[in-house]
A and B are shown apart, each in its own frame.
Chain A
Amino acid sequence: MTLLFGALILLVGSGMAALLLGRWPSVSKTVGVGGAVIGCLVGLVPAFQTLATSVARSWHAPWQVPYGELALGLDPLTAFFLVPIFGLGLLCALYGGRYLQHYRHRPFLHVSYTWFNLLVAAMAVVVAARNALLFLVAWEVMSLASFFLVTFEDERSDVREAGWTYLIATHLGTAFLLAFFALCGRYAGSLDFDRFRQMTTLPPAIAGALFSLGIIGFGTKAGFMPFHVWLPEAHPAAPSHVSALMSGVMIKMGIYGILRALTFLGPPPAWWGWLLVVIGLTSGILGVLFALAQHDLKRLLAYSSIENIGIIALGIGIGLLGRAMGHPLISFLGFGGALLHVLNHGLFKSLLFFGAGAVAQATGTREMEHLGGLLKRMPRTAIAFLVGCAAICGLPPFNGFISEWLIYSGSFRGILAFSGREGVASLAAILGLALIGGLAAACFAKVFGVVFLGSPRTDHASQAHEVGLAMTVPMGLLATACVVIGLWPAGALQLTLPAVAFLLGMGPEGLGQPWQEVQHALTLIGSIAVALIGVILLLALLRRKALARRQARESITWGCGYAFPTARMQYTASSFAQPLLLLFKGLLRTRFAEERPAGYFPSKARIASHTPDVAKEYGFRPIAMGVVRALDSLRWLQRGRVQWYLLYIVVTLVVLLIWKLGM
């Protein structure tokens, strides 16, 4: 507990110091980044301690706010989420220090370090809070800090608009959370989480209402479809280390919230499980489809985050089904897979955002159609990015495969064990996961192929150069972590074991039986992965040996024997994705603006495609417009004269007085 406080004080203190030292930019940067790194290192210690011992600790202090208490706690669920918060916070801080050097001539650069450190500290308080008010305060600090980080380049109107979208979305979510906690507080008689956990006699209808409120409120932060609208706007607008932290860690706070809420609401009925399966399938499939349709590298990654959140929701759904039907093994596989995917997605999505940031800084653009051939120009970034791409598609021997395998295997067992709706949900989960996996593979083949392979499409790409060590080292570390989890899956799953046991309301030894079964399979997977890498290395060695005596000639990609090949003959990102997108055009509603070639000797032709977000375009925009129109009809109240406003006040006061006195 002391170390957790130390970490929080270091983070907040160094953030404030960076703010005050803004006059000396290099000092401010050192203090901001250094404080974040040391604070995160200190914070990782209690997280791993708690995971190792499964001993819950708590700390209470009075707080003047009504119903509020400064209550913090460390239990396995908190500790598990602290690992990505502090671990990825550390790497993002390191990367961000170097990344922001690109903007060193901007005024008020130091404020960015302050908000960053505050964001990390606020997320740590969110997962450690044991009082609803403290939780909401930390939640709000987290939202505001990330809002200010997103609007870093606030001189651009698109960034400002993205910031507003995010701010409105996050507050709508918080409104549902307020209702959620207020209702919990009414039934528990207190706003303490400990009391919430003792609500054993909730009527089923109330528990269902609470669950739905929690799903909407926390789902807005997590990015469940259709509450995801802020994600594809905010992530491209933010600086890359912020996108990495937000996508890798912050949206997982929504997942944490749902898991924490589940510990309050007592034994789950089966419909919670299949509701989450449905949400997971929607988010996963639509997320990856929209990702496939994007041209902007970071917007694509943002949609892919929605897809992965969908996979996590699927895992939780399977876990809930297992719990509701009384199958510990299935719920272990579901929850374990979901939690491991939280960690895994944090690792590879941060890695991909780091890579995207490196590409954007080296080339000055995020538009994929302008890139190409970066593998030769930025080899270290490219290799790390390739690992991230393979991992996010769920391919062995990387970490994404492990968590998806756990969810698959939970669903397969579900088909065998359940009947009726629950069985159908398990079957749908398997089919959906397979579809998601295939589309994700297509999507990331497109990303890597278009950005790093082939030859440069524009000068942006041809003049790129490798980025500095402070940016490539964090990428390398993340890529290594992806491989290590892929090769040693049992160890990674062991990390989630205490948290899963906590969610199922038992001690870690209670999961002994299912853990034995899974461990066996995972060890097998690990050894196959090692063998796979060995075979690949062997093949590479053979190839080298075979080529050693011959002369190999290098030529440009897609040369195809043309006399005058140009970079414009390559597949573009859009053309690569087009056949798949055609299948789903009813869902995606891509808009084309084209000028077809005409005549026998066509001189020019043009095509531009744009895929707006369906939920935003057909759901939120009409609603927002309706609200604006409704409020516009109240415009007559605003007279612009101080006399009118005073009259409103007088009338209100007199009416209240007379009404209150009962005359």
Chain B
Amino acid sequence: MKSILLFTLTLMLAFNLKAIPNEDLKANFVIGTPEISSIKAISFGPENILFIGDNTGMTLIAVDVKDKKRSSAKNLNMENLNSKLANAMGADKKDIKIQDMAVNPLSKNVFFAVSKQSGKKTYYSLFRLGEEGLKEYSLQEVSYSKMRIGNAPTEKHQTWNRPSRTYTVTDLHYANGELIISGLSNEEFSSGLRRVPFPFKDEMLTTSVQVYHVSHGKNETHAPIHRFLPVQLEKQWHVVAGYMCTPLVTFKLDQLDGNKKLIGKTVAEIGAGNTPTGIIAYTYKGQDFVLVGNNRHPLAKITGKDLFNAKAIKAPSRDRGVKRENVNLGSIAHISDFDENQILIVLRNKSKDAYHLKTVAKSEI
């Protein structure tokens, strides 16, 4: 962990993480075709800005998608979404993977990041699902900005023989003037949360968050964050993080200051053999909710108030911990908040070969 802190310090210049209000978010955007070697995670910020996490290129890209607002909820329920995406990429469904889904909060268009393996190449593509249907979203001649996130260990130290260390972006979200990124290393079971002020200024702050408490705070253990969400709980910015194997942990956002090991509050354990596939938050009928989508366990629904007031769990248990409802919608591959009344999920069928896009009414969750 300390080493990650060190890594942070090597990258970190003295900078102020506070958002600058009214700053023109697109002031440093240029028109062109961003060089992208992979698309792993996507997420929307304000003003039509789509953030793309490029793993192999170790780059963050912000694109102005210039969306037009849709006027209806057309095309939001789609059987065999993976087959349609595959066919558009000239492939069978088994050769593609839906890497991520993001809903543009302004236009309500749905974006998918998709990869295809063909011969020696892996192709990455973006699709936009609007009223006109499912269409490729080309990144040619777009308005964008980018920032390299680099991999500090190989920059600080010489690497001999071969560069084999990688950092895989697992999730990214914009909140309050900055982009927050979680990732996985292929050599350690750990990661930090990275905070990048936006508009990009080539500044980054990493806080070691891979440690959490279990069993009465007696044991400390470490694991990477797989999915997370910055969210306001009782008007304070928090990060709700779903770790691999399987705790749900909360931090206050301002605790991610890059200067110390941060041990979050373990509020729940979702269950064995499960991967959290997405966390969303919304306000419905005056009440705040946080939803954790899972691939092996039911969707967990928690009120913002309960999450804020949750006590650290004293012993691991699926039943104890923060008060929550289990909502069984099936195996969730991707989850997004859609609008005032609906969420959007990509469901995987039991034989794991078909993925269906589906809206679910918030009144039914």
A binds B: no
Spell out B's residues near A (CB within 8 Å). Answer: none
